[in-house]
Amino acid sequence: MRSDVVTKGLERAPHRSLFKAMGYTNEELSRPLIGVCHAHNEIIPGHAHLDKIVEAVKTGVRMAGGTPAAFATIGVCDGIAMGHTGMKYSLASREIIADSVEIVGQAHPFDAMILIPNCDKVVPGMLMAMLRLNIPAIMVSGGPMLTGRHRGKDVHLVSVFEGVGRVKAKTMSLEELAELEDDACPGCGSCAGMFTANSMNCLTEAIGLGLPGNGTIPAVHAARIRLAKQAGMAVMNLFHENIRPRDIATRQAFENAMAVDMALGCSTNTVLHVPAIAKEAGVDLPLDSFNKVSKRVPHICSLIPGGPHSMEQLHEAGGVQAVMHELLASRDGLHQDVMTVTGQTLGKNLKKARVKDREVIRTVAEPYHKVGGIAVLYGNLAPQGAVVKQSAVADEMLTHKGPARLYNSEEEAQKAILGGQIKAGDVVIIRYCGPRGGPGMPEMLSPTSAIIGMGLGTSVALITDGRFSGGTQGACIGHVSPEAADGGPIALVAEGDVVVIDIPNNVLKVEVDDAELARRKEGWQPPAPKITTGYMARYARMVTSGATGAVLKDE
């Protein structure tokens, strides 16, 4: 066993003494040592209940003959961090999470690990560490929050963000907004809807690194506790069979995950995280891979925020396993012979799956959209690509042409939108918000929600080298690469330039010729760093493009 180097032999008496200081017995030290990494805290609603998941996981480990040892890592609540300096630290936390888990996993040689995340950057960060360590491991998340109910309608966190715009537009009173604020988030769990956290938890299941149900069982259901116990037992099987994360997370497994991404209409943030996770597995996933999958895999689930159905309804309809079962009928299907953490191949797992609600999970022959939920756009405004959640774009905005309205920060844009300065037809551009320029590629949920709340969702587009919350809907195009801080074309756009968006043909361009863009580039100067000390200053110097997953440079 890997843990023998700290638990066995004469020379390890001091090590055993330290274990015994915590109450470990000789019997416990003779068993496989299983690391239980969690992100429980009291600042993220998706993580507030993870202590219960930890205890259930530890129970499962002990039931199967292992000795669990729990430790924690950090997390950021994107909703609480939204709209202020804190959002600059969100994406950057992914690397700290991955590094911290790697450090503990290497310093204390566990025989296997269970990782317990729930929210946006914690899931990919833990997956990245899992693949670096490459010891038998499994992921079990905390599960999605239930949708709230407000005046007879389903509501969620984004409903409150949009409510701010509605108050400004005088279509909602302050009193109703206060009532909505109380109703929208009814309890613990990752925010209700196919936002980034739930997207990544579903894709963990699709890759094969989480048990069936990991992505959709609600946080408050007893089935989530049972799943945690099953994960504790399952990791012991992975240990005995020596099945490791890189045996599971193959190129074929990532192709399956991208197919599920398209079918569900997941968050655009998956286009940052999936390539970053794949890199740790030694799998290269260039940005255009998503377009190739999108063209062959239809969008068969219409989930909040772009559609009417909730995560709970997706779970009741059969969850991710049912979606994957339906995708077997799509063009090229899925790779069924890949291994999963059940110890069985995907094909064997899917024999148990079935679709229970054909409105929530449609057939591939009669989908919500014939193409997948995400599109990557190219053109002289985004030579290296830009990303849009096309399944959440109104039909009338799939193609759009309008004048650029330029802002060099989210705060400037938000003030203009709520101040009524943006008109139908405009293309709002928020730049210098990329991985390096932000720094940290902050999300833009406040301005996108304000556009919806102000009644401009079907007439105004928003483009940024930053990124969007999974809760975003509308013609919102992010990850524009190269970013403005690197002198990308988005830095050279002038007020009033005509911007052309053609999502069906994957085009994003500005009607300015190459010679004029070159002339403007000659007069361009890189901006001064916005943060000059601490972690984010180091991050800005080391981070790569959004087109490569915003991973850090190897050097």
Residues involved in catalysis: 469
| Contact of 57 with 36, CB cutoff 8 Å | yes
DSSP secondary structure letters along 473-488: -SSEEEEEES-GGGT-
DSSP assignment, residue 326? Answer: H
The CA distance from 31 to 64, in Å, is: 10
The tally of CA atoms less than 13 A away on the side-chain side of residue 67 is 18
DSSP assignment, residue 367? Answer: -
The CA distance from 252 to 153, in Å, is: 40
Three-class DSSP category at 366: coil
The angle, 0 to 180 degrees and rounded to 10, between the axes of the packed helices 270-280 and 251-264 is 170
In the beta sheet, which residues pair with residue 506? none
The CA distance from 101 to 35, in Å, is: 10
Count of C-beta atoms within a 10 Å radius of residue 332: 11
The CA distance from 455 to 436, in Å, is: 32
Alpha helices in 328-433 (DSSP H): 346-350, 410-418
In the beta sheet, which residues pair with residue 509? 500
Looking at residue 516, its amino acid is: E
The CA distance from 436 to 538, in Å, is: 10
**Beta strands at 112-116 and 137-139: parallel, antiparallel or unpaired:** parallel
- What tokens does 479 get? 């990850």
- State CA 246 to chain mean position distance: 20
Please confirm whether the linkage preceding 68 is cis (ω < 30° from 0).
no
- What tokens does 191 get? 């925010």
| Contact of 287 with 268, CB cutoff 8 Å | no
In the beta sheet, which residues pair with residue 57? none
The CA distance from 398 to 122, in Å, is: 32
DSSP assignment, residue 280? Answer: H
Looking at residue 140, its amino acid is: V
The torsion of the CA quartet 236, 242, 244, 250, rounded to 10 degrees, works out to -130
